[in-house]
Amino acid sequence: MTQPFHEQKNNQVSEQTNEQSSNKTNEQMNRQFGEGEQQTLIIAHRGSKGTHPENTMVAFLEALEVGAEGIELDVHLSKDGIPVVIHDETLERTTNGKGWVKDYTVEELKCFEASAEFGAEHKEATIPTLEETLEWLASTQLLLNIELKNGLLPYPTMEEKIVELVNKYSLEERIIFSSFNHYSLVKLHQLQPEIETAILFMEGLYEPWNYAKSIGAKGLHCYLPVAQPLLLQRAREEGTPVRPFTVNEEAHIRALIQGGSSAIITDFPEKALQIRRSLA
């Protein structure tokens, strides 16, 4: 099998990783995505999705390089039951493959280029496994939001497989699970209650902090238009972190940082970090 891209790049990024890691504190390593923090954290959506092929090591390395505090990624299961990092149930949008992710083994998925939206510039990008990503992440101090993409396809035992991998790399303190499948969040909480879960939602729920607590979740990952000032204020009073997605426009980034959002999930982490620095 072809050597994983993140291993090919290790010599180029090890100094960068060590330098950035040395600038992080133990406090950051143990915190939970902006919970109780004064500063709005910048979470790189699918890596640096706006500038690099989404959900690939290329995008994750870029997020680390520009200084994002965390990464958000999506997980499906391959035909042979391995958690793989890709957003869609199908391959066409982000790779040169066709068909359903679930119908290919990991070895087969690795044969596809995952740079469809960026062309030849990043032909080296492939679909990473979650384990490859966690192994790399363990050498950094990045936070990680794992979204389980099991709303359309149930993927039996998906939760157990992902929790096992997180435990293998001792990353429990730096992980948050999210999903639109709230039954899955309940199962994850039952499997490992010390790992934070967060509800994903698109509509204006009534007192979502109370609903989240009722299923064992601690965070609110809401669609950007739902992140109104009153929601931010009430959630803060309830001690519930709010991390809206997907926050790309300068005006929205500024408003959420100034409004005290715990974190924002953005396709453009470098841009968001520049804006945050300008507001300091």
Give the residue extent of every domain in the chain. Answer: 39-279
> Catalytic: which of 6, 52, 76, 87?
87
87 catalytic? Reply is yes
Selecting from 3.20.20.190, 3.30.420.60, 3.30.70.1230, 3.40.50.300, what CATH number does the domain 39-279 have? 3.20.20.190
Query: Model confidence over 221-239: pLDDT tens digits?
Result: 999 999 999 999 999 999 9
Q: What is the pLDDT of residues 61-98, one digit of tens each?
A: 999 999 999 999 999 999 999 999 999 999 999 999 99
Alpha helices, DSSP H, located in the chain: 5-8, 10-22, 26-30, 57-66, 106-109, 130-137, 158-168, 182-191, 208-214, 229-237, 250-258, 269-279
pLDDT at 26: 38
Q: What number is the average pLDDT over the span 248-272? A: 98
CB-based contacts of 189: which residues, under 8 Å, 6+ apart? 197, 215, 216, 217
User: Rounded to whole angstroms, how far apart are CA atoms 51 and 269?
Assistant: 10
Binned at pLDDT 50, 70 and 90, residue 27 comes out as very low
pLDDT value for 37: 52
Instruction: Note whether 81 and 161 are within 8 A (CB).
Output: yes
Question: Residue 127: left if φ>0, alpha if ψ -120 to 50, beta else—which one?
Answer: beta
Residue 121 binned pLDDT confidence (cut-offs 50, 70, 90): confident
Phi, psi angle pair for 43, to nearest 5°: -105, 125
- Predicted pLDDT at 116: 81
What confidence score (pLDDT) does residue 2 get? Answer: 41
Q: What is the per-residue pLDDT for 30?
A: 38
The model carries a pTM of 0.90
Q: Annotated catalytic residue: which of 45, 122, 189, 221?
A: 45
- Overall size of the chain counted in residues: 280
Whole-number average pLDDT of the chain: 90
Indicate the pLDDT class of residue 197, thresholds 50, 70 and 90. Answer: very high
Assign 35 a pLDDT band (cuts: 50, 70, 90): low
Lowest-pLDDT range, 37-41, 48-52, 195-199?
37-41
> Out of 18-27, 168-177, 221-230, which region has the weakest mean confidence (pLDDT)?
18-27
- Compute the distance between CA of residue 46 and CA of residue 137 in angstroms, rounded to an integer: 14
pLDDT digits (tens, 9 = 90+) for 142-172: 999 999 999 999 999 999 999 999 999 999 9
Q: Is the pLDDT of residue 192 over 90?
A: yes
Residue 153: its pLDDT value, please? 96
> Which pLDDT does position 32 carry in this prediction?
53
76 classed as catalytic = no
